[in-house]
Amino acid sequence: MLNVPFSVALMVVSIPFYLLSIFRMGWNFTLSTFFAVLTLSLFTEANRGIPDFIIPGYVGAILGGGLLGLGLSLLFWNGSSLGGVNVLALYLQKRFGWDPGKVTFGVDSIIVISYFYSVGLEKGLYSILSVIITSSIISYFKGKIASATLPQNAQQ
């Protein structure tokens, strides 16, 4: 809607979450997260040069949600995130014991529902399916994520 590349929007939207991360999760977590977001942004830009291909929406939702859930779980498990809501989800898990999958589901669902108007019902429903799968996988690994070596000052 703003005609801003996703890579730029991702970096800018993550700024407040970097601040939360610095003060509540520590510098190592923040720098690792910044590097992960920067890498995603660069790969997103590089992806523009790859020819488009078409798969059914439900296949994209299932495969994309599954891969995203596994990838985020691995990042979380290793003391990093992809910025934004991920930082908040990990902070709330460490501070209050909240399930990061449920936090992710809640926030992502609000975001997806808010753009139903611009993408249409069918794509919106596929997005919800993807959010459900991603969040379920993160919830499945919540014990391993909680026991990961995340910064101790996140409990403050």
Q: Would you say residue 1 lies in a domain?
A: no
**How many structural domains are present in the chain?**
1
Q: Would you say residue 155 lies in a domain?
A: no
User: What is the DSSP annotation of the chain?
Assistant: -----HHHHHHHHTHHHHHHHHHHT-HHHHHHHHHHHHHHHHHHHHHTTSPP----HHHHHHHHHHHHHHHHHHHHHTT---STHHHHHHHHHHHH---HHHHHHHHHHHHHHHTHHHH-HHHHHHHHHHHHHHHHHHHHTHHHHHHS---GGGG-
Residue 2, pLDDT > 80, answer no
Q: Would you say residue 38 lies in a domain?
A: yes
Q: Would you say residue 16 lies in a domain?
A: yes
Q: Which domain holds residue 80?
A: 6-150
Residue pLDDT, tens place only, 37-52: 999 999 988 988 889 8
- Mean pLDDT, residues 131-149 taken together: 89
Q: Would you say residue 115 lies in a domain?
A: yes
| Model confidence, pTM | 0.84
Confidence label for 155 from pLDDT (cuts 50, 70 and 90): very low
Whether residue 20 contacts residue 94, with contact meaning beta carbons closer than 8 Å, is answered with: no
Higher pLDDT, 145 or 59: 59
Q: Would you say residue 156 lies in a domain?
A: no
* Residue 39: other Cβ atoms inside 10 A: 11
What is the pLDDT, as a whole number, of residue 151?
52
- Mean pLDDT, residues 10-17 taken together: 89
Alpha-carbon distance 129 to 37, whole Å? 24
Residue 19, pLDDT > 90, answer yes
What is the pLDDT, as a whole number, of residue 118?
83
